[in-house]
Structure 1
Amino acid sequence: MSGMDHSTMDMSGMDHSGMDMSGMDHRAMAMPGMQAPADLPADAAPRTPIPAVTEADRAAAFMPLGAGHPAHDKRSNSFWLVDRLEVADTAKSGGWEGLAWIGGDVHRTWLRTEGDVEDGRVEQGNLEVLYGRSVTPWWDLVAGVRQDVGEGPDRTWAAFGVQGLAPYKFEVEATAYIGGSGRTAATLEAEYDTLLTNRLILQWQGEANLYGKSDPARGLG
């Protein structure tokens, strides 16, 4: 049909609904020079083989093992927090409370301190230096020393306890102390954060200090 002028053929009046093409073999209608691809067996290899994975492919897909901050690594980090800092009466009275740690994911050195100032002098305060070891993802065991300063004689205590995140996100610290002359003490502290907004947080805090015997020189009953 290469010599026919198709521009003069008017097929607008033909009824195509009567043409049944369901029995036609469309594979036989291929254009000259074209060959329909034959179906491959199910167990045959693909026509275009998949290239082998190269080292460049692996490098692009996976982060190097030394990157980032792997768990239980040996790199030292630190954290410092001043939780309370109060000044009143033209800087003659106030108080402080803070903590810090330095170390890795498992072993850390902890510093905890708090106290009150009255008339420009430390009325009562303490400093704790503790070694902490992580025993679970949320809890640390701590042990060290505590030094009490302020009115009356200074006291030195051996300290040991536990701290971490309890269920329902309560921050908990429980520490027991043993001092000279048979003195014993314990401190239990719990905190909970209520998020009013993403930036405004209401913190609930409760603390109990217990002593095994009176210490009149420091005003403790």
Structure 2
Amino acid sequence: MTLIKRASVFILTVFVLTLIAGSPAQAQKAPEFSNDLMMDNKTYVYLIAEKLEYRSISGVNPLMWELQGYVGKDLNKFWFKSHGEALTTESEAEMEFQGLYSRAITPYFDLQAGIRYDLAYEGGGNKSRGLAVLGLQGMAPYFFHVDSGMFVSEDGDISASLEAEYDLLFTQRLIGQPVIETSVALQDVPEWGVGSGFNDIGLGFRLRYELAREFAPYIGMNWERKLGETADMARAAGGHVSNLSLLGGIRMWF
């Protein structure tokens, strides 16, 4: 009887294992190893025109842009950023370009470092400068998009900027976007119209409609005010200290 019991147990075990091996859930062959399964291997390319807009400011009516994009993997990327404005009524413009190495330090934030180049022209003259950049970009709690940076110019002048925005979904396609911007400097830089302390503050709201996820016309309004010594420099040069403008533009990404 002992031999028969052992044989029965063996046959039953073989039968159960055969059923398990034949189950569709268990019989799938494991995929062969591939680097595509590993993090930080796939290369991504992204470009967005966050702002391409016209603003109605009496006497100047500038065209504004804010572009940025990257190429790279999950952890390491190269970022390109540019923003600026060109006046439609005068031969005057200011623009900024940044090239940055970006490293993901949390699931939501990247630490960035690189260089920035500023270029401005007015009438027949122009000026430029180079700066080192250390920045932090990502998504703060409650889904606020944050882009901040600290800058050191070739002359040793130190400044910083912060921009935060938030998407309010009224529908799946109609989206409101409040924006706040500010900047600060440690030294006076008169040739660039910058005073020490807080330089300015900007508040804006844009209402866009996504005809496609990649293409959205928008309208909105924007208020800006120069502060402290920067405002004093603007007054002395006969410029605007504060302005409120209506705007219209297009947001698109690739």
Q: TM-score by structure 2 length?
A: 0.60
Q: Contact 2:68/2:81 (CA < 8 Å) preserved in 1? A: yes
Hey, what's the Cα distance between the residues in 2 that align with 1:189 and 1:150? 22
Give the secondary structure class of the aligned counterpart of 1:105. Answer: coil
Give the secondary structure class of the aligned counterpart of 2:191. Answer: helix
CA 1:202–1:178: 2 relative to 1, 3 Å: same
CA 1:62–1:150: 2 relative to 1, 3 Å: same
Does the alignment pair 1:144 with 2:114? yes
The Cα shift of 1:206 comes to 0.8
CA 1:59–1:192: 2 relative to 1, 3 Å: farther
Aligned to 1:135: 105
CA 1:142–1:48: 2 relative to 1, 3 Å: closer
Give the secondary structure class of the aligned counterpart of 2:172. Answer: coil
Q: TM-score by structure 1 length?
A: 0.69
Aligned to 2:250: none
Does the alignment pair 1:202 with 2:176? yes
CA 1:66–1:217: 2 relative to 1, 3 Å: same
Hey, what's the Cα distance between the residues in 2 that align with 1:136 and 1:47? 49
Does the alignment pair 1:171 with 2:137? no
The Cα shift of 1:218 comes to 2.3
Give the secondary structure class of the aligned counterpart of 2:74. Answer: coil
Output the amino acid matched with 1:110: W
Aligned to 1:190: 164
Count residues with an aligned counterpart: 177
Kindly report the root-mean-square deviation, in angstroms, between the aligned alpha carbons of the 2 structures: 3.1
Identity of aligned residues (%): 28
Comparing 80-89 with 204-213, greater Cα deviation is found at 80-89
CA 1:167–1:70: 2 relative to 1, 3 Å: farther
Structure with the higher fraction of residues in strand conformation: 2
CA 1:88–1:200: 2 relative to 1, 3 Å: closer
Q: Which has the larger radius of gyration?
A: 1
Hey, what's the Cα distance between the residues in 1 that align with 2:149 and 2:160? 6
Does the alignment pair 1:157 with 2:122? no
The Cα shift of 1:210 comes to 1.5
Give the secondary structure class of the aligned counterpart of 2:66. Answer: strand
Q: Contact 1:115/1:122 (CA < 8 Å) preserved in 2? A: no
CA 1:64–1:58: 2 relative to 1, 3 Å: farther
Structure 1 residue runs of 5 or longer lacking an equivalent are 1-42
Aligned to 1:11: none
Structure 2 residue runs of 5 or longer lacking an equivalent are 1-7, 196-254
Hey, what's the Cα distance between the residues in 1 that align with 2:188 and 2:170? 42
